[in-house]
Structure 1
Amino acid sequence: MSEKRKVSFLGLGVMGGEIARHIGEAGHELTVYNRSPDRAGRWLEANPGLAARVATSPADAAEGAEFVITCVGNDDDLADVVLGPSGVFKTLRQGGTFIDHTTVSARIARQISVEARDLQVHCVDAPMTGSQIGAQKGTLTLMCGGRKDAIEAARPVMQAYSQRIVHVGKAGAGQITKMACQICIAGNVAALAEAVRFAQASHLDMDKVYEAISGGAAQSWQMDNRWQSMNEDRFDFGFAVDWMRKDLGLSLEEGRGLGVSLPVAALIDQFFAEVQAMGGGRLDTSAIIKRLPRKGGK
């Protein structure tokens, strides 16, 4: 890091908490905020080496900050912490930089960008991919929408927790790119679930099957990271089914607006709905295999 900056991070969830840790470890002057104060307290306890200040509101977090970063739940949550009565934009100074890592609609990303422009604030919508593991290791990929100068302003801080920063287009483009990403992931994990159940029913050595097929055209991140855990019926980690359904809902809504048919994404969304109905909403997306009965296998 070439320069210590004043950075505020809002949203200390599974991904956000890890990102905030990387920012603090990079030596930046860190302020954190979470709508549930207990979570902020737990984050401080888990990171005793970081001298972070806990803000009392989004506006308090943004007061005096050079960079404000959000990673919250959905459109309504983001609008509240950014545009609400005690939101970030009430106090973020002119020339400051706002970065959002929440997966939300392109509509809210564009709305916030317009508000930021009027306030003369740099604005980047930067949803991410790389999973919880990537957040922990600081190797996320960021899909950035916004003006080029905004991306470059944000880059010095974003580099603390990412290995790839891609400027994909104007405001909202980052969110559209994330939707395309989630469509791909949903298709991959659904097909992988069927492959695992097929190999199990055939009484094959699952380690040998993985060794054979993971070096060819079938290889994917999902296969490398979920084959074994799916075979062992382990799902209490990772990216939750509830979150994937939210993201696919955004993709399907955007597709309707574009006049684009997404039949596979729509079908897999219903498969995830079945997992939710089974009580698996908080399980990793690989739990999609639970809707397929296990027959035979070792």
Structure 2
Amino acid sequence: MAKVAFLGLGVMGYPMAGHLVKAGHTVTVYNRTAGKAEAWAEAHGGSVAPTPAAAAAGQDFVMSCVGNDEDLREVCAGEAGALAAMQPGSVFVDHTTVSAKVTREMAALADSHQVSFVDAPVSGGQAGAENGQLSVMCGGDAGAYQRAEPVIAAYAKICRRLGESGAGQMTKMANQIAIAGLVQGLSEALHFAEKAGLDGRAVVEVISQGAAGSWQMSNRYETMLDDKFEHGFAVDWMRKDLNICLSTADETGASLPVTALVDQFYKDVQKMGGGRWDTSSLFKRLRRMG
């Protein structure tokens, strides 16, 4: 069993850190809002630290799940950042969805402190985090990954190393690109069924058993038809991720016409006041359009 710090207790990090305790690891947490860290410690029995550096000191592994590139830089390299406080030979595992650029920047900084850095963004949403059933896509040194994988297993359904530093983030971008087009397609299918006078639930019951079936269809069609979107992965975060995808595509020369279009549809949802709605709210946009 390992000594682990977990930085960031949002909707994903909170249950992920809890699974580490359940797996038998000794866990110290840090969160920007201290009250949430205290609540987590009361619920799970771990320790609370006032800064990323204090949380990271003396740990075998430091995991993070924060908001964006700047948040990651802050917890890694800010005034009380974790990397400078970590012991040589330890491993930093970042579960945030960020750019490959900042990942490589932090990996280089970690290396200067004799610390390994694994980029390990996750997919599976809040439910996946709560149930310990996340898909974890990793990049970084193979040896560091092999050491970290048994710890990550506390909340993973599948965990794979895809290559060197940044490969995990690139894979997460592919994941978000696939989801964006898929959710729009599902939204259009349900919208079409409604306009055709069909029972949307009956339609899904049939088509979900064929080639059109997907996780999004199975897990989101009912809430979509019921006009319920106060749950799941927020549109604001999806737009953040798609911005990373589109910026990286410009750098690599990849063509993402559907992704670029769906990103604009999500912008429309934000204008509707749906920045915190689930990504399946693309369907609500179509309904409002008539």
Decide: shared fold, TM above 0.5: yes
- After superposition, the C-alpha distances for 1:96-115 in whole angstroms (9 at most, x for unaligned) are 01100000000010111111
TM-score for the superposition, normalised by structure 1: 0.95
Matched, 1:70 2:64: yes
Aligned-pair CA distance for 1:44: 3.3
Measured in 2, the distance between the counterparts of 1:158 and 1:77 equals 21
Change in CA separation of 1:100 and 1:233 when aligned onto 2, cut-off 3 Å: same
AA matched with 1:35: R
Counterpart for residue 79 of structure 2: 85
Measured in 2, the distance between the counterparts of 1:223 and 1:56 equals 42
Aligned-pair CA distance for 1:262: 1.1
Counterpart for residue 9 of structure 1: 6
Measured in 2, the distance between the counterparts of 1:153 and 1:101 equals 16
AA matched with 1:27: G
Counterpart for residue 26 of structure 2: 29
Matched, 1:124 2:118: yes
Match of 1:57 among 47, 51, 56: 51
AA matched with 1:282: R
Preserved CA contact (<8 Å) 1:200 1:295: no
AA matched with 2:199: D
AA matched with 2:183: V
Q: What is the aligned residue count?
A: 290
Aligned-pair CA distance for 1:240: 0.2
AA matched with 2:24: G
Measured in 1, the distance between the counterparts of 2:217 and 2:263 equals 20
Aligned-pair CA distance for 1:206: 2.2
TM-score for the superposition, normalised by structure 2: 0.97
Aligned-pair CA distance for 1:295: 9.5
Preserved CA contact (<8 Å) 2:84 2:113: no
Report the more deviating stretch, 33-42 or 99-108. 33-42
The root-mean-square deviation of aligned C-alpha atoms, in Å, is 1.3
Matched, 1:269 2:268: no
Q: Any gaps of 5 or more consecutive residues in structure 1? A: none
Aligned ranges for residues 1-298 of structure 1 at < 5 Å?
A: 4-45=1-42, 47=43, 50-293=44-287
Measured in 1, the distance between the counterparts of 2:289 and 2:10 equals 37
3-state SS of 2:275 partner = coil
- After superposition, the C-alpha distances for 1:188-232 in whole angstroms (9 at most, x for unaligned) are 101111111111122222222111100111011110111111011
Q: Any gaps of 5 or more consecutive residues in structure 2? A: none
Measured in 2, the distance between the counterparts of 1:207 and 1:51 equals 43
Query: Percent of counterpart pairs with the same letter?
Result: 52
Measured in 1, the distance between the counterparts of 2:134 and 2:287 equals 34
- After superposition, the C-alpha distances for 1:19-46 in whole angstroms (9 at most, x for unaligned) are 001001111111000011122133334x
Preserved CA contact (<8 Å) 2:97 2:172: yes
Preserved CA contact (<8 Å) 1:141 1:164: yes
